[in-house]
């Protein structure tokens, strides 16, 4: 019996890349999975089923509160519970590294809308389904808030806001036995990140190359590297941990 047997987990941005790896990893430990994404999630659903669990796909724009509410309702109706929210959906791969003077207000606000408001919307959506029995919320941040990566001020600011939001929500949700924590990965090889440097407008080496040189553990990071920590935070093993950010970047930055 897996550590998450009988649990139901919503994975936002779960259709591909890191989100899909989270979905399969949690499924292998017994969780039923809801793939929530604007992209088609049927491939991820099939991967979860192949891993031995059950899953559904719910098309979800996390910046839309009504769609987030429908996502949580679908999980409740299909599986009878909402126990885990893994807030993974974000804008990253499409960001063009460029001088901050070329970053428009519209671009800045769009990243905040998806990366920050999206996580807030999802937390609001699952709260009615968790408040009577508790639950686990895992927000995905970034170690970029420790590094100060140039060329992407909107992204770095959004991930800093997620850590602040995590602390605030941990305070508010603690009385309901809901744990709220953040995982802060470094650059990870994934569907969303592999083309990241192609359209950059800054004279910098590839981001992955910069990070690889600076890491204590000098190898590429892959989505599967991140799964173990998510499992820990989703399980009873982390029952007394909340409001924390755990950096998960191979020793690139220390927090």
Q: What CATH number does residue 45 fall under?
A: 3.40.50.720
Count of the separate structural domains present in the chain: 1
Is 99 inside any structural domain? yes
Report how far Cα 190 is from the mean position of its chain's Cα atoms: 13
22, 57, 155, 176: which is the annotated catalytic residue? 155
- From residue 46, alpha-carbon distances to 16, 69, 123, 171 in Å are 12, 24, 26, 37
Each residue's pLDDT tens digit, 196-254: 656 667 777 676 677 777 878 888 888 899 999 999 999 999 999 999 999 987 888 88
pLDDT at 54: 98
Instruction: Using CB atoms within 10 Å of the CB of residue 228, give its burial: 0 to 12 exposed, 13 to 18 middle, 19+ buried.
Output: exposed
pLDDT at 194: 58
Q: Which domain holds residue 166?
A: 8-247
Among 70, 71, 66, 98, which residue's Cα sits nearest to residue 85?
71
pLDDT at 202: 75
**What is the reported pTM?**
0.94
C-alpha 61/C-alpha 70 separation (Å) is 11
Is 255 inside any structural domain? no
Is 253 inside any structural domain? no
Is 142 inside any structural domain? yes
Is 167 inside any structural domain? yes
Is 70 inside any structural domain? yes
Is 242 inside any structural domain? yes
Is 254 inside any structural domain? no
pLDDT tens track, the chain, 255 positions? 799 999 999 999 999 999 999 999 999 999 999 999 999 999 999 999 999 999 999 999 999 999 999 999 999 999 999 999 999 999 987 888 899 999 999 999 999 999 999 999 999 999 999 999 999 999 999 988 988 888 899 999 999 999 999 999 999 999 999 999 999 998 786 766 556 656 667 777 676 677 777 878 888 888 899 999 999 999 999 999 999 999 987 888 887
Q: Is 57 a catalytic residue?
A: no
């Amino acid at each position: 019996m897996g550590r998450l047997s009988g649990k139901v987990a919503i994975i936002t941005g779960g259709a591909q890349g890191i989100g899909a790896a989270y979905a399969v990893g949690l499924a292998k430990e017994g969780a039923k999975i809801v793939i929530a994404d604007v992209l088609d999630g049927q491939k991820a659903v099939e991967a979860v089923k192949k891993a031995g669990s059950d899953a559904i796909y719910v098309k979800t724009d996390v910046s839309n509160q009504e769609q987030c509410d429908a996502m949580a309702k679908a999980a409740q109706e299909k599986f009878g519970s909402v126990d885990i929210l893994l807030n993974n959906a974000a804008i990253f791969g499409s960001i063009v590294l460029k001088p901050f003077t070329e970053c428009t207000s519209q671009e800045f606000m769009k990243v905040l809308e998806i990366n920050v408001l999206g996580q807030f919307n999802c937390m609001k959506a699952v709260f009615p389904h968790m408040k009577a029995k508790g639950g686990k919320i895992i927000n995905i941040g970034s170690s970029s808030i420790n590094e100060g990566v140039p060329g992407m001020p909107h992204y770095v600011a959004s991930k800093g806001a997620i850590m602040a939001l995590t602390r605030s929500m941990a305070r508010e949700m603690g009385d309901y036995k809901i744990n709220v924590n953040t995982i802060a990965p470094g650059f990870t090889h994934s569907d969303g990140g592999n083309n990241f440097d192609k359209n950059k407008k800054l004279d910098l080496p590839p981001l992955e190359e910069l990070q690889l040189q600076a890491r204590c553990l000098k190898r590429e990071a892959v989505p599967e590297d991140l799964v173990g920590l998510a499992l820990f935070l989703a399980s009873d093993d982390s029952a007394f941990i909340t409001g924390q950010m755990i950096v998960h970047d191979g020793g690139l930055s220390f927090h």
